[in-house]
Structures are given as C-alpha cells and as structure tokens.
C-alpha cells in the first residue's frame, strides 16, 4: 500500500498514520520528522532548515525531494509506505510522480483528512500545552502561518490527485476511532 496523507497541520495525519503503520506493516515517512532530526543533529541541512521551519515556511522543494527519494530506496519501503507531510507543493507532487515512475512504482491512494481551520488552531495549541515538549513552530502566530502556507500551496494538491482518480477524503474532525473507521472504509476499496 503506497499512500500519501494530505491534510493541514493538526488534522490528525500522525495519529491515523500510526494506525495504518500497524495495520499494513509499512513505514510512515514524515518529512517534518526527518527535517527535525536533521535540525537536532545540526547537520548542514538542519542548520539551513531550522530558521525556515521556525517561521512555519517551507523548506525548498529540491531539498525535500532528495530526502524523500533516498528514503524510498530503503528496504523497509519495499511493501509500501505512508508519506506524511510530503508532497506539500505542486512541484513536489510532480517530482514525486517522476521519482516513483523512475523506481517503477505508483501511488495507490491519496488520503485527505479534512479539517476546519479554527478547530485546528485550538487543537494544536492544546497539544503543545499538554505534551510539554512544545515544538518551536507550535505557537499561535507561526501556526497561523503554517495554515496559510497549507491553504495556498498544499490544498491545491487535492484537485491534482482528484484529477488522477487517487483522492479519498475523510472528515478529520470526528473522534479518532470514527476517523480511523472511515479511513479503513475508503482504503478497503483500494486494496
């Protein structure tokens, strides 16, 4: 099962991806996690990415495309994967199509978790307060920028994947078990 997870920050992509990781025994590839690991390791890439991420802006397409392409070649992706946080721009979506074609594979579905903007701000501010391990980009002002960036650059991917017949949309604002049931239903029809 080769999946892309689409949805704004706080829509529950991480939570639902974890459930699918168990169900399908495939890895979750979160570009946010990969970039945060590079920041923590203070690698040249991490040093460059940190300021961009702290503002809630997007790291350049070429950097993220290269990270994902390398990661897809690792052995644990042989039976599938869940891309979480990638692609985030139309250019990344085109790059993904090209790299998958080159690797001789294709996406099975793109799962969109739909969510309401105001509810997302409340959810993420809460998550940051409760976890105690707040991310630098989880304060309200940066969060609003992340949501603006999502609406402007990433939301158009829904139409892109709909036109390819790959899009499956689910209401991400329901209870976790309700969402995961809806996800299972739409994916059951895929494979």
164 counts as catalytic: no
Contact letters for ligand ADP, residues 126-165 (x by CB under 6 A): -----------x--------x-------------------
**Residue 59 found at the interface with ligand ADP (CB under 6 A):** yes
**Catalytic option among 103, 127, 164, 191:** 127
Name the one range near ligand ADP by CB under 6 A: 15-23, 58-66, 71-79, 159-167. Answer: 58-66
DSSP letter string over 98-156?
HHHHHHT---SEEEEEE--HHHHHHHHHHHHHHHS---TT-SHHHHHHHHHHIIIIITH
Name the one range near ligand ADP by CB under 6 A: 20-28, 50-58, 161-169, 180-188. Answer: 50-58
Question: Listing from the earlier edge strand, what are the strands of the sheet with 2-6?
Answer: 28-30, 81-84, 2-6, 109-114, 167-171
Q: Where do we find the tokens 């793109």?
A: 110
Task: Tell me whether the omega of the peptide bond preceding residue 87 falls within 30 degrees of 0, making it cis.
Answer: yes
Name the one range near ligand ADP by CB under 6 A: 15-23, 27-35, 96-104, 183-191. Answer: 27-35
Of 20, 26, 35, 120, which lies in the binding site for ligand ADP, with binding defined by CB under 6 A? 35
For residue 2, the cross-strand partners are: 81
């Amino acid at each position: 099962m080769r999946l892309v997870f689409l949805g704004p920050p706080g829509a529950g992509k991480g939570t639902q991806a974890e459930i699918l990781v168990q169900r399908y025994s495939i890895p979750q590839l979160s570009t946010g996690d990969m970039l945060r690991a590079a920041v923590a390791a203070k690698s040249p890439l991490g040093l460059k990415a940190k300021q961009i991420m702290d503002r809630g802006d997007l790291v350049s397409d070429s950097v993220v495309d290269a990270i994902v392409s390398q990661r897809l070649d690792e052995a644990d992706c042989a039976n599938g994967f869940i891309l979480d946080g990638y692609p985030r721009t139309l250019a990344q979506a085109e790059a993904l199509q090209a790299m998958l074609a080159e690797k001789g594979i294709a996406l099975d579905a793109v799962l969109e978790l739909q969510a309401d903007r105001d509810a997302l701000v409340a959810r993420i501010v809460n998550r940051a307060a409760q976890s105690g391990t707040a991310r630098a980009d989880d304060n309200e002002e940066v969060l609003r920028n992340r949501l603006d960036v999502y609406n402007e650059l990433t939301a158009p991917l829904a139409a892109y994947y709909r036109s390819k017949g790959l899009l499956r949309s689910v209401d991400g604002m329901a209870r976790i078990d309700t969402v995961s049931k809806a996800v299972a239903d739409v994916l059951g029809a895929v494979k």
